[in-house]
Amino acid sequence: MLMRCGPGCHCPSPSPSNLIPKRVTSKESCQATDGKHRQSQKMIHSLFLINCSGDIFLEKHWKSVVSQSVCDYFFEAQEKAIDVENVPPVISTPHHYLISIYRDKIFFVSVIQTEVPPLFVIEFLHRVADTFQDYFGECSETAIKDNVVIVYELLEEMLDNGFPLATESNILKELIKPPTILRSVVNSITGSSNVGDTLPTGQLSNIPWRRAGVKYTNNEAYFDVIEEIDAIIDKSGSTVFAEIQGVIDSCIKLSGMPDLSLSFMNPRLLDDVSFHPCIRFKRWESERVLSFIPPDGNFRLISYRVSSQNLVAIPVYVKHMISFKENSSSGRFDVTIGPKQNMGKTVEGVVMTVHMPKAVLNMNLTATQGSYTFDPVTKVLTWDVGKITPQKLPNLKGIVNLQSGAPKPEENPSLNIQFKIQQLAISGLKVNRLDMYGEKYKPFKGVKYITKAGKFQVRT
């Protein structure tokens, strides 16, 4: 996901044309990247990769080494957070700033020695994780450890003296070839490396995201419209907060230098849109059409937000009755989940997670569908429902056993719901048509819609 500078911003570019663009909203942010400042300070000084167990399994430093003890501040913040998603993305220490993201059960923690726009660093860290995903098929601790040489080579190319340099996948793959079994065998025998011998063709181009001479037997263009609903539902079932975060992920395998135009049935729905640099912004401003020469392969075309609550349809409802009696060692738990506004589509992959009060010892429940687990240590109840059929709604009910003599819990727990709906964009966004110019062949085109829960919470 990439962001352009705000209108009227004249901050100088800190690196070549394929840098990650950033949104600048203040004069101070512009001044943070001026030439003199760049020469005296690095943007990113060090990078630590930390797993869920708190082990630092990889570190990379640019110029001087920063001690691992700086991560103690991060571990303190992690202990205070209820779950991994609540760890603050920016942590201030006496001599550094720690800016982090959480991806695929890994914390990417960068060490900064001077004030920089945090979004710039966060976007770069996401680009690093995306690159690992693209190269190794997954961004996991195992994949990174198995390809540690390539990881260090990539980090050397992606960051130059602490500033992003080559971040486009097409350029990186010409600089450092992705690992294959055959290449690994040849390298081990010959002692050669994956580093390319020539400068990438796109490095000095005005479209650095696309390499030259692309050829495919089958020409295809696929677009995935993926929307996540963030919502808070109160006890009565009314919506307190609702917002849709959406992205359009693309997989483009087209020969030559195609010029694409993607139009929507209702583009005015979209707020706060962030674009890949390939998109011609003026065309979007005037016509609400995405016009672009695409990168080769997988990339995120745009991300967007739908924040008007009257446009956000809530696809599931939850009936709940959770009660704890005064001076009693037991309570009642009864929850039913059903489909709501889903346009005739099936709600599937439903999982409910509940952080029960500390006084709860165990739970004796009966599920009419799926299975449940309760961890008496973490006090987390997980109900894996699966697919919801309107004819028979899934229900989970039973007895909650409390510690004897413990006071009644002050408040009821909140229910966190996960779900997925195939072939539906809950905002109502629909792709109208895709046109291609500059090439004579006819590509195969496909669009897929997915709606899923983001932070979807029901208060009881």
pLDDT digits (tens, 9 = 90+) for 223-251: 999 999 999 999 988 889 999 999 999 99
pLDDT digits (tens, 9 = 90+) for 414-453: 999 999 999 999 988 999 999 999 999 999 999 999 999 9
Q: 288-315 b/e with 16+ CB inside 10 Å = b?
A: ebbbbbbbbbbbbbbbbbbeeeeebbbb
Are the beta carbons of 183 and 196 closer than 8 angstroms? Answer: no
Please state the separation of Cα 221 from the chain's center in Å: 22
- Encoded tokens for 61: 């430093």
pTM of this prediction?
0.77
Phi and psi at residue 381, to the nearest 5°: -100, 130
Question: What's residue 182's pLDDT?
Answer: 58
Give the residue carrying structure tokens 């663009």: 21
Mean pLDDT across 124-141: 92
Largest Cα–Cα separation, the chain: 79
Cβ contact 349:315 at 8 Å: no
